[in-house]
Amino acid sequence: MTQIHIVTDSTCDLTDAEIKQHNVHMVPLSVQIDDITYTDRVNLQPDTFIELMRKAENLPKSSQPSPGSFKEVFDELGKDGSKVISIHMTGGMSGTYQSAVQAAEMSDADVTVIDSRYIAFGLAFQLREAIRLRDAGASVEEIVAGVNKVRENTRLFVVLDTLENMVKGGRIGKGKAVVSSFLNIKPIGHLDIGEVTICAKPRSYKQVVKFLIGEFEKDTKGKVVKSVAISHAGAMDTLVNPLIEQLRASVYNGEVEIAFTSPVISTHAGEGAIGFMYYAE
C-alpha cells in the first residue's frame, strides 16, 4: 500500500507530542527579532516569544519557508513512491502556501497542497482529520474531501487587545489606533474567507466575551460540537478564563484546548490577542 505523508508549517497548534506521535512533518517559518533570526518552534517557542517581543526595539518580522525548504522535504518523503499532503496556514496572511505550491511543482514527488484558509487550531482541526483518515487507510482524494468538510464547518474569531503591532507593521494608520485606544475598542475579526474581516468593535472584555458566546451559540445550535480551542498571546486573565467560564455557563461543557499562539501570529496580532475557534457539524 502506498504510504501518505502529512506536511504542515509551524503556525499550526498541534503540540510537539502530536506531531511526533502521528509522524507529521513540520516545515518552520522564521522570525527576526531585531538582528537575530529564530526558527519557529525550533529555537523560538510560543510561550517565551511574548517577552522577547515586548523587549524588542523593533516589531519582529516573520518569513515563510522557501520553496527549496519544502522541495527538500517533499523529495525525501516521496523518493519511495509515497504520496504527500501538505496543509498550511491561510494564503491570505502568508506566502507559506505559495512556497509549498511552487515546491510541489518542482518536486518529482506526488504532492497535494491545501490552503487551510485558517491558522492556529483552525489549521490543527484539519490536520487531525487528515491524520485520522490517513490512519484509517483513506486515499488522498478521501482525505482532501474530509479536510474540506472540516474547513467548511469551522469558525475562527480574532480579538485584538491593542492595535500597536498593526500600526508598527503598517497595516493601519496611527490616528485610527489612537481613536480605538481612546474608546477602549477591542476589534473582533473573523477568518471565514482566508483573511481577517472586522465584524464587531466592543469596548470592553465583557462585551467581547458576550459577542463570542452569542456567535458560538448561534453557530452550534442543533449541531454536534467537535472541537473548541483558544490560542492567545498572553491573555489568560483578561479573555481566556472569562470566555471559558461563560462557555461552561452556556451550552458547552466539553473540552476547551488552550495554547500560546505562534510567534508568527503574535507578531501581527499583538500582545493580549486571542483566537477563538470551533468546529461543529
pLDDT in tens, 139-184: 999 999 999 999 999 999 999 886 554 544 444 433 333 334 433 6
CA 68 to CA 66: how far, in whole Å? Answer: 5
pLDDT computed for residue 163 by the predictor: 56
> Nine-digit cell at 42?
525550533
On the question of pLDDT at 2 being above 80, the answer is no
pLDDT computed for residue 97 by the predictor: 97
User: What average pLDDT does this structure show over 12-36?
Assistant: 95
Burial class (CB in 10 A: 0-12, 13-18, 19+), 225: middle
User: What average pLDDT does this structure show over 193-197?
Assistant: 74
The H or E element that residue 88 is part of is strand 83-88
User: What average pLDDT does this structure show over 119-148?
Assistant: 97
> Nine-digit cell at 169?
507593521
Percent of residues, the chain, with pLDDT higher than 70: 91
Q: What pLDDT, in 10s, does the model give residues 82-112?
A: 999 999 999 988 899 999 999 999 999 999 9
Burial class (CB in 10 A: 0-12, 13-18, 19+), 193: exposed
Report residue 1's pLDDT band, with 50, 70 and 90 as the boundaries.
low
- Range name among 20-24, 52-56, 104-108, 153-157 with the lowest pLDDT average: 52-56
User: What average pLDDT does this structure show over 52-81?
Assistant: 94
CA 73 to CA 85: how far, in whole Å? Answer: 12
pLDDT computed for residue 162 by the predictor: 67
Q: What pLDDT, in 10s, does the model give residues 259-271?
A: 999 998 888 888 8
CA 184 to CA 182: how far, in whole Å? Answer: 5
CA 221 to CA 216: how far, in whole Å? Answer: 8
pLDDT computed for residue 184 by the predictor: 60
pLDDT computed for residue 171 by the predictor: 43
Residue type, 43: N
| DSSP per-residue string spanning 172-188 | S-HHHHHHHHHTT---E
Are 63 and 10 in contact by the 8 Å Cβ rule? The answer is no
264-189-174 Cα angle (round to 5): 75
On the question of pLDDT at 10 being above 70, the answer is yes
On the question of pLDDT at 278 being above 80, the answer is yes
Q: What pLDDT, in 10s, does the model give residues 211-260?
A: 999 999 999 999 999 999 999 999 999 999 999 999 999 889 999 999 99
pLDDT computed for residue 27 by the predictor: 97
